Amino acid sequence: MKIISWNVNGIRAVDKKGELENLLKTCDPGVLLIQETKAQEDKLGPIIKKYDIYEQFYNAAERPGYAGTGIWIKKSLHYNISFSTEFPGYKDTEGRVARIDLDDWTIFSIYFPNGGKSDEAWQEKLVFYEKFLFYVNKLRQEGRKVIWAGDVNCAHEEIDLARPKDNENSIGFLPEERAWVTKVIKNNWMDIFRYLYPKKIIYSWWHVITRARDRNIGWRIDYFFLEEGLMKTVKDIKYLNGQMGSDHCPVELEISI
């Protein structure tokens, strides 16, 4: 199965540019994990109709035009699909968690908070991090095979951004955030790309206003995670840097489910 995760920065905008259709035709994913849909489901009728080979599930933010996640899965795959937006112990009003269960597998599309708006937003980000890790750890303990992916809003190591020294005090590269990703890995969740390609430099997000993508001055903040014991199911993972339409590029995972 090919699973793609993409922060689209507005699903209607990226479709209007023709880039959503381009991705689907070029890569033909079985599952598409979407972050920052920025749309209520009642506004997505044309997209649902246009791409009707996919069963589409959405978790929208209460605030229109903000955040939101989604998961698409090809109807031809014939799985018994269960969709959920629950996040135990956390009141998610921003549509940050989308989950599907396929047999004994669970797949998440997650849009982690940025945390840069205020001290309160920063603390909320750290709470979200900890509660989500507790959640996926519990699912794993219950025997679920869990894949989680999305915009984590953190570059883990210096290799994961173009200018680490200049960003030591920047949201997205602060010690507390980086320490959480380290904790995730110590909890036996593998950053699949870095596990397979420990020294490869590649980015997934670029600042739009400074045209950073043209110069490849970017950050790798979009990930796929899987427990180490299931890494044998992974065929490959890659960042689709040539795919335009958003300030993020998609990440493509090939895996046997």
**Domain ranges, residue 123:** 2-255
Distance CA 246, CA 27 (A): 17
pLDDT number for residue 212: 95
Is residue 115 predicted with pLDDT exceeding 90?
A: yes
Tell me the mean pLDDT in the region 97-118.
96
Question: How far is it, in rounded angstroms, from Cα 1 to Cα 162?
Answer: 32
Cα 168 to chain centroid distance, Å, stands at: 23
pLDDT at 255 over 90: yes
Q: Where are the alpha helices (DSSP H) in 2-118?
A: 11-16, 19-27, 45-50
User: How many other CB atoms are there within 10 angstroms of residue 182's CB atom?
Assistant: 12
Residue 111 has pLDDT above 90, yes or no: yes
Number of compact structural domains in the chain: 1
pLDDT higher than threshold 90 for residue 17? yes
pLDDT of residue 140: 97
- Which of 8-12, 66-70, 115-119 is the least confident region? 115-119
Read off the pLDDT band of 78 (50, 70, 90): confident
Query: Which DSSP string do the residues of the chain spell out, in sequence order?
Result: -EEEEEE-SSHHHHHHTTHHHHHHHHH--SEEEEE---S-GGG-HHHHHHTTTEEEEEE--SSTTS--EEEEEEGGG---EEEE---TT----S--EEEEEETTEEEEEEE-----S-HHHHHHHHHHHHHHHHHHHHHHHTT-EEEEEEE-----SGGGBS-TGGGTTSTTS-HHHHHHHHHHHHTTEEEHHHHH-TT----SEE-TTTTHHHHT-EE--EEEEEEGGGGGGEEEEEE-TT--SSSB--EEEEE--
Query: Catalytic residue numbers?
Result: 151
Beta bridge pairs of residue 83: 100
Helix pair 119-141, 175-186: axis angle to 10 deg: 0
Q: Considering the chain, what percentage of its residues have pLDDT values greater than 90?
A: 98
Residue-level pLDDT at 204? 98
> For the domain that residue 116 is a member of, what is the CATH number?
3.60.10.10
Mind listing the pLDDT tens digit for each residue in 209-247? 999 999 999 999 999 999 999 999 999 999 999 999 999
Q: Residue 79 above 90 pLDDT? A: no
* pLDDT for position 141: 98
Nearest 10 degrees: CA dihedral of 96, 97, 98, 104? 160
